[in-house]
Structure 1
Amino acid sequence: MNGKIVSCGIVLLDPEGRVLLAHATGTNHWDIPKGQGEPGESESQTARREMVEETGIDVAAPRLVDLGRYVYRRDKDLHLFAARASADELDLTRCVCVSLFPRREDGVMIPEMDAWRWTVPGEVDRYASRSLARLFSMSLSLAELHRRL
């Protein structure tokens, strides 16, 4: 092990090739649904659990394409999977986040994610963190992924 944290997530694309981004509550950035594993979980199990917790969307394991591990930050790598959203997953008004954390100011438990959007690849850097925008521009082309899925 290299001592890095590994976060597992799903790059979910809609039929037009837009990527699902979730807004991290209390911040100004958007992210793909992802997170760290729990004991005994495989990377795909972690990615699927995080997607359900942060969006309510349950992507069945056979739909996942394993994209592998990417350098994300100095302290964190991402193990990513991709899937094409099915027709019943396109309506983001149905998304719900059940993963809670204490708000810094007062300790009140609030959802980890509070909004969702389909984002065209060219606009990801307007919303996402620098690390995620860099990943999509340098290592993982969303346009190429759209063609592959």
Structure 2
Amino acid sequence: MNAKVVSCGIVLLDPHGRVLLAHATGTNHWDIPKGQGEPGETESQSARREMAEETGIVLAASRLVDLGRFAYRRDKDLHLFAARAAPDELDLSRCVCVSLFPRREDGVMIPEMDAWRWTVPSDVASYASRSLTRLFETALSLPELHRKL
């Protein structure tokens, strides 16, 4: 039996409790910045690297709150951290994704994420995958996290 893949990510909230979602290029879904770790990385390092690669936002480890590991899909768990966006991180027009992948049609390298939005918790289901929506509706309440951060 194969062990589950673990993706590490950051739930970044703005001062109003909205969550940062990034649009996955070539799909119709939005996600939190997350991805698999590289050899030798801690979960925190993986989550911070993915955030920097997918948004250009660089977070110090000291800003992260470790939320722990969550069941996500049959084949994947998430190790999540939370942080509050600083005033200079709120302008999403400054976001840039440096993580590239080959486009299916022609192999041209394109950014993994191509748009970003602050999303109120009640709108997450309109944008995110069913798996992420279910996580936020059951195991990780965004309004509760907003109150705690």
3-state DSSP of counterpart to 2:16: coil
CA-to-partner distance for each residue in 1:31-59, whole Å, 9 max, x for gaps? 00000000000000000000000000001
CA-to-partner distance for each residue in 1:35-84, whole Å, 9 max, x for gaps? 00000000000000000000000011000000000000000000000000
Q: Structure 1 residue 3 and structure 2 residue 3: aligned?
A: yes
Q: TM-score, normalised by structure 1?
A: 0.99
Q: TM-score, normalised by structure 2?
A: 0.99
Q: Could you tell me which amino acid in structure 2 is paired with residue 133 of structure 1? A: T
Q: Structure 1 residue 62 and structure 2 residue 62: aligned?
A: yes
Aligned counterparts of 2:80 and 2:91: Cα–Cα separation in 1: 23
Partner of 2:21: 21
Q: Percent identity?
A: 84
CA-to-partner distance for each residue in 1:9-46, whole Å, 9 max, x for gaps? 00000000000000000000000000000000000000
Partner of 2:84: 84
Q: Give the length in aligned residue pairs.
A: 149
CA-to-partner distance for each residue in 1:69-120, whole Å, 9 max, x for gaps? 0000000000000000000000000000000000000000000000000000
**Structure 2 residues not aligned, in runs of 5+:** none
**Structure 1 residues not aligned, in runs of 5+:** none
Partner of 1:130: 130
Aligned counterparts of 2:41 and 2:59: Cα–Cα separation in 1: 16
Q: Could you tell me which amino acid in structure 2 is paired with residue 73 of structure 1? A: R
Partner of 1:50: 50
Q: Could you tell me which amino acid in structure 2 is paired with residue 140 of structure 1? A: L
Aligned counterparts of 2:61 and 2:101: Cα–Cα separation in 1: 27
RMSD of equivalent CA atoms: 1.0
